[in-house]
Homo-oligomer: A and B are copies of this chain.
Amino acid sequence: MSKPSIPKGTRDFGPRAMARRQWIFATIREVFKRHGFLPVETPSFENLQTLTGKYGEEGDKLIFRILNNGDYLSKADPSILASKDTKALTPTICKKALRYDLTVPFARFVVMNRNELTFPFRRYQIQPVWRGDRPGKGRYQEFTQCDADIIGSTSTLCEFDLVQIVSEALTSLGIPGYTILINDRRILAAVASSMGVTPERLTDWTVAVDKYDKVGIEGVVKELEVRGFDKKVENGIEKLFEINSASTSDEVLSLLEKMIASDEQGLIGLAEMKKLLYRSANDGIIEPNIRFDAMLARGLDYYTGAIFEVRVENSPVGSICGGGRYDDLTGIFGWSGMSGVGISFGADRIEDVLEYLDIFPKNIDLTTDVLVTYMDEDNCDLELQIVTQLRNDGFAVEMYPEAVKLKKQMKYAGDRSIPYVILIGEEERSTGKVTLKNMDDGSQTLVDPLQISSFLS
């Protein structure tokens, strides 16, 4: 047997990482719950056709497909096999694929369960997703998303709810220097239109603008040139960049208002952004923790209204949270007209940020509270009794499983950072007391077995 390994882009989580991850999930879940969101989980694999065609051509390539069990080749077309036509063969040998995100399965869930749900429906979902991306910094093939969506309402109160959730979660997680960037696809469309971009070329334009974060304004201008946009668009982007550099979100919005003056949808978007900023400010969420960003585009995602993205200053990873509104979330599964808005936290990137900044709370590491040592395999009824009693009192307690030398048992307690050890030697047994050793300061106290709990901090 060769040395065991795990697939690239995946990770094992030992006790220390688990303690941190459980804390992250619990913190986010708590915020979701406080906002009245209800939990949902969907299967790890979906029917292949549920997922294909939903994530763009690039996304489709990254979906992990599950090979049919049994003799999957028996019905395969010999000519497809002979020509090695991978694309044609796949749907004939794979019926299932791993979840790629939580949004598409949620849309499918809503359509399938619409009669049992009360709308507007607020759901949260915390589950792993899988993508065949090239692994890299902050990019894994298995990672966990924490999503919250509200479906069945077009009210901007929903957007506000999500901004509050992001702010509360990141505050509870202790993440410093975060900014919730907001924009609206209708504003982007109006801005593009003001530069002469036709509706057919809007996606192309958006994809170029979306690169700003990575390539800067010169890069975006070059990208627009490559994509065949004219000088007017290039100048327009430079102007947009200038507007976006104004010192406050309010100023940026005022300047934009002039730029897109006659575009009705754009103005609605502007008004909603203003309302969102006003309500956020009333709730104590102000710049730089929130900021209107006229250059925020969120790539190819099929948002139609508000969009969000969260970045963290001095952090090694990109966005740790993103989302937005889509007018027709469930339309892809045959139920039209349900508007939804949602956000998704990348738990693994949040873990990476907290790790990088070394700001995990100190008290979340898990350990056992008490180790009960054990000298004689045939005479340990009292030890076992104490173990049960302390567990009933709510403590995490272990008995060292073997009657080995005390030194070895104490070393185990030390290695595991167990704060208290109970020792019962001959003398203790004769006096009916036990020794409680504090591993921090080394102090030892003789205590009545029934009163141990009161000595544990």
Q: How large is the interface on A (under 10, 10 to 19, 20 to 34, 35 or more residues)?
A: 35 or more
Which of A254-262, A312-320, A353-361, A395-403 forms contacts with chain B? Answer: A395-403
A74: shortest Cβ distance to chain B, in Å?
Answer: 6
Residues of B within 8 A of A442 (CB): none
Per a CB cutoff under 8 Å, which of B4, B109, B153, B399 touches A333?
B4
A199: shortest Cβ distance to chain B, in Å?
Answer: 25
Chain A, 1-40, contact with B by CB distance < 8 Å: what is the 0/1 string? 1111111001111110011011000000000011110111
> Do A73 and B47 touch across chains, with their CB atoms under 8 A apart?
no
A223: shortest Cβ distance to chain B, in Å?
Answer: 27
In the complex with contacts A39-B19, A84-B76, A333-B1, A150-B401 CB distance below 8 A: yes
> Do B94 and A67 touch across chains, with their CB atoms under 8 A apart?
yes
> Do B412 and A118 touch across chains, with their CB atoms under 8 A apart?
yes
Chain A interface, DSSP helix/strand/loop, else mixed: mixed
> Do B71 and A86 touch across chains, with their CB atoms under 8 A apart?
yes
Within 8 A of B (CB), among A142-159: 142, 150, 153-155, 157-158
Identify the A interface with B (CB < 8 A).
1-7, 10-15, 18-19, 21-22, 33-36, 38-47, 49-50, 61-62, 64-67, 69-74, 76, 78, 81-82, 84-86, 89-90, 93-96, 98, 108-109, 111-113, 116-118, 120, 122-123, 128, 130, 132, 142, 150, 153-155, 157-158, 160-161, 164, 168, 279, 282-283, 332-334, 366-368, 371, 374, 377, 380-381, 384-385, 388, 391, 394-399, 401-403, 412, 415-416
